[in-house]
């Protein structure tokens, strides 16, 4: 991955700071889904079953709720990308800090594992993604994509500040944009707590239903456009970028 030049005052020091934090996550958790989830086999089995039905396009597994606290009453924004793309996070966050969009006291690092249904004609990064064949029944198989991702949590000061953060992420962390930072996804994964609904309306965020199942500290998270799962799942609304919301109804999944 190309390393961007440090164009702004103080960006080199900030870059090194965020690079250390990103590398620490990679060293601690690795990038293999099966290793990350080795102690959460029951939640993985439940998630896999819902993919096979199919009742979801994908799921996330958190080791603790604070890794991506979508259920929080606080105003929070979450941005994810592969855990091994440490230079991407360092460049992104150092530029945001140098432009005074964020401060170090208002962000935190988390990690999650993800498994999502995968179309055979989609591109794959073999360094960051692992494919698995899911038996869908009646002799049918489907591919699933497995990853481990760093989650950055931003705590905006105001609604306008939240919009500034999201606008920057949509411009700099999307492969579709001409000035994107290397390592960006074509469709960025940006989520927010529901209290930011009005603030992010101008950013074309959409409300989704988050279904969450707990096993001690771990959390299984499945998003649907509208569908709420029954107990013991808990359900609550959250906000996501429009492109991510569209993915939730891929593969014939109903809202």
pLDDT tens series, the chain, 255 aa? 444 555 665 688 999 999 999 999 999 999 999 999 999 999 999 999 999 988 999 999 999 999 999 999 999 999 999 999 999 999 999 999 999 999 999 999 999 999 999 987 788 999 999 999 998 766 678 899 999 999 999 999 999 999 999 999 999 999 999 999 999 999 999 999 999 999 999 999 999 999 999 999 999 999 999 999 999 999 999 999 999 999 888 877 877
| Exposure b/e, 121-157, CB count within 10 A at least 16 = b | eeeeeeebbbeeebeeeeeeebebbbbbbbbbbbbbe
**Domain segments of the chain: what residues?**
11-252
- Quick check: helix, strand or coil at residue 185? strand
> Cβ contacts of residue 14 below 8 Å, gap of 6+?
93, 94, 97, 98
Spatial separation of the C-alpha atoms in residues 160 and 133, rounded to whole Å: 44
CB 182 within 8 A of CB 222: no
Q: Kindly tell me the sign of the dihedral angle through the C-alpha atoms of 43, 46, 50, 53.
A: positive
Bridge partner residues of 110 (DSSP): 151
Is the whole-model pTM more than 0.85?
Answer: yes
CB-neighbour burial class of residue 255 (10 A; exposed 0-12, middle 13-18, buried 19+):
exposed
CB 187 within 8 A of CB 174: yes
Biggest CA–CA distance in the chain, Å, is: 60
Bridge partner residues of 132 (DSSP): 144
**H or E, element range at 107:** strand 107-118
User: Tokens 């996330």 belong to which residue?
Assistant: 60
Q: Let me know the angle formed at the C-alpha of 169 by 166 and 173, rounded to the nearest 5 degrees.
A: 160
């Amino acid at each position: 991955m190309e390393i961007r030049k440090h164009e702004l005052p103080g960006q080199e020091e900030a870059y090194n700071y965020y690079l250390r934090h990103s590398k620490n996550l990679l060293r601690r958790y690795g990038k293999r889904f099966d290793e990350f989830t080795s102690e959460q086999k029951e939640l993985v089995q439940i998630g896999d079953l819902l993919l096979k039905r199919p009742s979801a396009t994908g799921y996330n597994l958190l080791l603790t709720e604070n890794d991506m606290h979508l259920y929080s009453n606080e105003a929070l924004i979450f941005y994810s990308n592969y855990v091994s793309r440490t230079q991407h996070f360092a460049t992104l966050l150092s530029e945001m800090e140098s432009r005074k969009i964020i401060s170090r006291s208002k962000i935190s690092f988390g990690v999650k594992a993800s498994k999502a249904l995968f179309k055979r004609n989609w591109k794959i990064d073999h360094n960051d993604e692992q494919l698995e064949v899911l038996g869908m029944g009646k002799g049918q198989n489907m591919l699933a994509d497995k990853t481990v991702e760093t989650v950055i949590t931003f705590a905006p000061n105001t609604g306008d500040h939240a919009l500034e953060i999201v606008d920057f992420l949509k411009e700099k962390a999307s492969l579709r944009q001409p000035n994107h930072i290397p390592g960006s996804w074509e469709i960025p994964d940006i989520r927010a707590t529901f209290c930011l609904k009005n603030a992010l309306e101008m950013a074309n965020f959409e409300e989704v239903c988050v279904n969450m199942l707990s096993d001690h500290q771990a959390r299984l998270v499945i998003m649907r456009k509208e569908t709420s799962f029954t107990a013991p799942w808990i359900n609550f609304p959250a906000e996501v970028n429009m492109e991510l919301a569209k993915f939730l109804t891929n593969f014939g999944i109903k809202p």
